[in-house]
Structure formats: C-alpha cells, structure tokens
A and B are shown apart, each in its own frame.
Chain A
C-alpha cells in the first residue's frame, strides 16, 4: 500500500492518521503541504523519523522546491520527481490518499 499525504502536519492530523495505519513494507509519499513534515527542525520531523523504522518515506521534489524546502530534507527521506511518483503508484498494489 502506498499512502499519499498532501496536508501540512502542523495544520491537520492526516499524516498522523496515515502513520497510524501503515504496515511494514508499505510506503508513504508526502506531496504538496505534507512535504514540510520531512524537513529538519519541524515538530513533525520526529513522527517521520520514527515511522522510517518500518516504512520508506518519499517526498515529491517539485513540491519541496516550490516551498523553498529542498535543502532541509531529513536524512533517509527519498525525494522523487513526477515520474518517480508514477513509479511508486505502479509498484504498489493499492494507494490511499489521505485528503
């Protein structure tokens, strides 16, 4: 399962809910305002770091760039472009968007 989160973790609880539902081997892709959670110094960074023990976290590069956050991405988070996004969708049996 690929979990896609697009809301800021400092404004909504969708990242928290998604991370509660992830199982080993699933992946989480952060897009739009959700990418802030994967940046150094954010209060949400700890949630991402502890989740990384079980799942791979991805963040969409163009969304990081547009928010001036590319240089602050947490170690261990994989940055993907739009074609990487497509690859992730095809690699997983199913997707859930936590809108």
Chain B
C-alpha cells in the first residue's frame, strides 16, 4: 500500500488514494486529499465532509448519493441538499470525492 506524508506524519492510502485507516483522518489530511482531487476546501465543502464523517460514525457506511442528498437537505437545508449544489462542490461526484476527502472507504456499490 502506498504511504503519503502530510504535516510530518505518514499514513497509508489504497491504490485509488482512499485513506486506509479511518482513524488516521484529520483536517490536514482532508486538505491534502482535496488537493489530490483538485478541490479547494471552503466552509461549504467542510459542511459536507463533516456531515459524511458523522453519517459514517452513526451508520458505518458511506451513503449513496441520493441518500446523502436527502440527508443533507434535512440537516443543512434544501438549498444544500440537492444534486446541483453538491456536484458544484464536488464535480466528480459527491459520493466519490467527498467520501475520499472525509477519509471514508469507497462507497458500497461504487464501481
């Protein structure tokens, strides 16, 4: 498995760049993973990433896009809980990119 060094600490990622160990995650690593995805983290990005961390902690899975959208709408409001908004933040797919930045495993069923 490849190792990456961020802020003086090294951690393991898989072949596709997903963090191997959920507990290694911190904000520095999130910023690094975002850079790899060419995503510049704003407060709106953090809201989604933190939401995903909480969702994972509660249910032990990364949600499907439509489940994420629905849950974000409930938590952060309908202006954020829609596909257009989430795809603007994460152009290559909120499930794939935001999960990666949040340090979660690759979502179930993702090909």
Are any A and B Cβ atoms less than 8 Å apart in their complex? no
Chain B interface (Cβ < 8 Å from any Cβ of A): none
CB within 8 Å of B: which residues of A?
none
